[in-house]
Structure 1
Amino acid sequence: MKIQAVILAASMLAGCGTVQTVALSDKTNVDQLKAKKTYCGAVPRIYSGVTYDFCMLHAEKPDDVDAFNYKNPSLGLVVDGAVSGVLDTFLLPYTIYKQHADGSMIIN
């Protein structure tokens, strides 16, 4: 049961905006946001997970069905936003340093 809980938590965190922006390279994040045709010009590193989630929410709507129901994104967005907000808060010392050293991730 514990192994299943760890696997479930790991798979949920893999799609989290904070994990995407902190663990993956800038080029990967920029390419993903460009591919989804978001309207964001840049993503700051401080609270980058929450910003990433909002950029994905305001992207052009896909024709196929996605993980979130775009007409009512309540549960998926609330859970991902809450987890991203908590993780971004824990990672503030690191992300403040990265923002000062590297600046924001420029998309356009």
Structure 2
Amino acid sequence: MVGCGTLNTVFREDAVASQNLKDLRSHCENVPRVYSGVVYDFCSLNGEPNSNKSMENQQIASVPWVAIDFVASGVLDTLVLPYTTYRQSKDGSIEIFR
């Protein structure tokens, strides 16, 4: 995983999140800005399998990293909800270019 979904979608340029999901070969076409971190995490799971990464390398004390990231993104997404709601109405969703 590249990092916290909220950090990639709210605090970085749209092109960064788009490129990350493109690199993961995600099947998502866009990411709405409201709760974008959680959606980003789901989209990262919705990619094609990568045989180079084993689940053992993506765990902290037998808890999958993505589970920790879902919780962290959910909390951060809730905190930035007024901002992401404004950005969604102003700019629309983050498009994932192929």
TM-score interval for Structure 1 and Structure 2 normalised by the shorter chain:
0.7 to 0.9
Question: What is the DSSP-based 3-state SS (H/G/I as helix, E as strand, rest coil) of the residue aligned with 1:65?
Answer: coil
Choose the corresponding residue for 2:42, options 48, 51, 54: 54
TM-score by length of 2: 0.84
Matched positions, count: 92
Q: Which has the higher contact order (CA 8 A, sep 6+)?
A: 2
| Amino acid in the other structure paired with 1:100 | S
Identify, as 1 or 2, the structure richer in strand: 2
Is the radius of gyration larger for structure 1 or structure 2? Answer: 1
Q: State, as a whole percentage, how many aligned pairs show the same letter.
A: 43
Residue ranges of structure 2 left out of the alignment (5+ in a row): none
Rounded Cα–Cα distance in structure 2 between residues aligned with 1:60 and 1:74: 22
Deviant stretches of 4+, over 2 Å: 66-69
Counterpart pick for 2:90 among 95, 101, 108: 101
Give the number of the structure whose residues are more often helix, by fraction.
1
What is the root-mean-square deviation in Å for CA atoms of aligned residues? Answer: 1.9
Amino acid paired to 2:58 = F
Unaligned 5+ segments in structure 1 are: 1-13
